[in-house]
Structures are given as C-alpha cells and as structure tokens.
Structure 1
Amino acid sequence: MTPDGVHTFSFEFEFGGRELTVHPTAVETDHGLVLLDVGLPGAAGQLRDALADVGRSLDDLSMVLLTHHDGDHAAGLAELAGETPLIVVTHEDEAPYVDGRRHPVKADPDDERYPPETVDIELTGGETFHTAAGPMWVVETPGHSPGHVALYFPDQRFLVAGDALTNDNAGADSFGGPKPHFTPEMDVAIDSVGRLAELDVETTHCYHGGTADAGTERIAAIYDERRS
C-alpha cells in the first residue's frame, strides 16, 4: 500500500524502438514536493498531468532526487528544470554524470548524452528527509550504477527501490533483483540487495514495474538466491 503523502506515477516513452513505462514518485514535504527520478524528455508534460490528478501542479515541485544518473531516470531533468525552479539532489558518486563532468556509464562514448544539469546537493548516504509520510532515509545501494540510492520510509515500511529491485520480470513472480544486462557491477548490486533485506519492509516500489506487495522476506530470498 502506498503511504499517504506519497504519490506514484506511470510515464510512458518511446525508447530504443520500444515502449518504456517507468514509475517516478512524488513525496509531500512542508517545503514542497520531492520528485524521485524524472524520466526521459517529455516527462514534464506527463508530470504536469499526473500532479493535476492529485490536486497539485509543477509549481508545488521543489526538489528532484535522482536515485541514479541513467538516462531513463535523468534525461528529462533539464527540460523539467526549464519549467520550474528545482533543487537537484543525487549521490556524490552520481553527480559527475548528471552535471556533465563524466559521460554516462552505460552510454556509448560516441553518442550524444542527455543535457547536463547542475547538482545542488550531493548525498553521501544515511541522510534523512522529513516528509508527510514520516522520515525518508537515503540508503546507499551501488552496483547498478556507482552511487545508486534507494529511499526508505521506516514509519510506513515502504521502500522506493529505484533500479536496485525490479517488478517487471518474466514468469509467475515479476518481483526480482537488478537486471544483469544493465548492471555493470552485479556482485556489488547483490550486496546492496542484502542491505535492503536488513530493513523492515512491507511494500516495495520499483521504477520498472511499479509497486509490489513484497517486503523483507522476498528481498532476502532474492539476496540468498543471487549471491550464490
């Protein structure tokens, strides 16, 4: 169950010759909405419509917190920043890829990258944000990317996993670990799954696949299976 004060969305894009659906999250705070990940170019219009559905607008948005710098999470950031003033936040190990000092890890070096954007706050892990759903903890979950983070709401037992976990896998059970093809350091990523398994989780929201009725026990099972 999604906690009060947390809004999850479904955005659809054309990406790599296929339809891509992603699931950003907006979190209410006393200082405006915090958007967890953006999406690809075109996300600003979809976000405007999604916020209107919950009685909000782009003017209510104060911050974007990127779980990591991959284009399907961050490529729409510059467009959104052109629509409304934003504080941009990401882990310090992701910041050089977002602001243009480094080329995105998984992109071809010869390909044009998405427009860089200034990072205003660099996280180191362990930070707490105060939200309408209670504290939101920043949990370091590297592996899928160098400074990937997840966001955990301990009062709600709710986890926003980014790409550290996925909910669009083939088979009877769609909930699973990070995708090997898109995860350069899989051993590190599985260690991060183990870190998430230490949390008291009831519900997990994944950027790919959306919200799953899956918590600590399921996450621990993925860790046990994938670490062997």
Structure 2
Amino acid sequence: MPGGRLTHQDRRHIARGLAEGLTYTEIARSLQRPISTITREVARNGGAGGYRADQAQQATAGRARRRRPISSSGPPATDAPGRDPHAVRDLEEQFTGAMTEAGLSRMTARVLTCMYTADSGSLTAAELVQHLQVSPASISKAVGELEQQGLIRRDRDPRRRRDRYVIDADAWVQGWIVSARRNVTMADLARKGAEIVGATTPAGARLKDVSEFFDHVGRHMIQAAEHWRQTSMSRRTISR
C-alpha cells in the first residue's frame, strides 16, 4: 500500500466518502491505505460527523509548523544517523494515535511514544518538554499517570541532580499486571455488592456475573504475563 502522508486530495476523498456513508474500510481500500490511517485521521479531525478536508489539512500543517528541531541533548530518535526524520515523526504520530485509542490521554501517549523512540529509553522532564514543546506541568501529569500504571519508573541522576524517567524492557508486562490487578479488585467489589443486595435478586445476579467475568479475565491476564516473563527471560538467557 502507498505510504507517506495524506495529501489534501486524499482528505477530500475521505470527506466525500464519509458524506456518502462509506465505511472506513471502503475509504481505506479506495485510497489503498491502511484502515488505521483513515480511522486516526478522522478521529483527530472532528470525527465522522465533523470531518472537513480543508480544516484537517490546515490542522496537519499547523502541527508540522509547531515541530522544532531537537538538540543533541534531547531524544535521539529523529537525529540518529540513517533515520528519516519524517518517517520517525510519522511513526510517533501513529504510535500516539494507537495508544490514545487504547485509552491513554493524548499527552500521556505522546510522552510514552517519546520514551520508546529514544534509543536511551531514559529522558528527563526537561528533555520531554523540549521535544514535545509543551509545559512542564503537562509532562508532570503525564509521567505521573505512566508511573501509576507501571509503564515507566523514576530514577535519580546524581550527576545532574534531577530525575530521569526510564522505560524498562518489561514495562508493558508491569502495566499489564497493574491492569489485571484492577480487574481482580473489580471482581471482589462486585462479589461483595452481590452479597449486599442479595445474590438471588436481579441486581445481585448482574453483579455476580460482573464478578465472575472480571475474576476470570484478571486471573488469565496475570497467568499470561507470568508466562511471557518466563519465556522472555529464557530467550534472553539463550541469546547471551
């Protein structure tokens, strides 16, 4: 399928397709683009009911103008030798869109993307502010959410007397386990709720179903994470 950024003509084609009631799949096929490209484009530019080609083009141009070069002390993803800066920025945008769809706020998703595309996997708040061109308060809120979900950790840099945020190889496993534990907590709460309202009542039956579902999902999520961790550790041991 063709790559590269959507053109103004592509966006007009998307707008026509939406007006005609075409599905995202049909629009993507007609443009020979991945469906994810179409869904992200529409989602960040007003949705299916509010998408306007001219406005989407202007918004994209505005985002491009706001991007500034990264200094050598900042995240090295776009500056690393042999990498196409435009391709890396497209990757960052797509990665951010995917994580936003998964439930992260856009700023939190941008910070996590920045962490993943930096070779060091370790950045300070100042470096994140510089790369993303946002306020320190925005970064503070985003890293707080990521720490809470177990996706990054905070290390103290004694040489520079500042915190560094680090993304570990097992970050997603930790985040997955945090999510699994929340499901187990929800299962316990629903089970207690069923006991309080009466297990034989309609409300109690609903809560019992909720409890069984979250208990089932939570336990299997934890088992899957532990299996992956063991498999990953074995693979790393062999590779050494």
TM-score, reference length from structure 2: 0.27
Higher relative contact order (CA 8 A, sep 6+): 1
What TM-score do you get using the length of structure 1 for normalisation?
0.28
* Structure with the greater alpha carbon radius of gyration: 2
